[in-house]
Amino acid sequence: MALLESGQMYLETIYVLSRSSRAVRSIDVCEHMGFSKPSVSRAVGLLKDGGYITVDEEGYLHLTEIGVDIAEKIYERHTILTKFLTGIGVDPITASEDACKMEHDISDVTLQAIKKHISK
């Protein structure tokens, strides 16, 4: 199953939330993303069926190995793009919002060039 942009965003959100708390629930995802409970519930079901997350008996969400791989890649892209955009003068909020849009479509070649540029 190919993971769509929305699925990538959910994985990234679970990843980010899990970095600050060991226990991530669907409601935490709802609050962080500003989405409704039914929307998040549907996405969680699809991610679980796709093998990207597991849900334990208490309802906590856990990324699988492949889920972590994808989430880390998207998070790294977001971080690099945000740093690049703020470095060229974009305000941090706009930079983060724009990075979120760009992170799903930018090529690996372009991302590596940006990464190289900002490391100078």
pLDDT in tens, the chain (120 residues): 457 788 999 999 999 999 988 789 999 999 999 999 999 999 999 999 999 999 999 999 999 999 999 999 999 999 999 999 999 999 999 999 999 899 888 999 999 999 999 988
CATH number, domain of 22, equals 1.10.10.10
Quick one: 9 and 53 in the same domain? yes
Residue 98 sits in a domain whose CATH number is 1.10.60.10
Asked if 11 and 57 sit in the same domain, the reply is: yes
Per the structure block, which two tokens stand in for 15?
């990843």
CB atoms inside a 10 Å sphere around CB 59: 12
Question: 30, 63 in Cβ contact below 8 A?
Answer: no
Please check whether residues 54 and 85 belong to one and the same domain: no
105 and 49: one domain?
Answer: no
Distance, CA of 95 to CA of 11 (rounded, Å): 20
Domain extent, residue 10, equals 5-69
* Statement to judge: residues 51 and 18 lie in one domain: yes
Whole-angstrom distance, CA of residue 31 vs CA of residue 24: 11
Instruction: Indicate the number of domains in the chain.
Output: 2
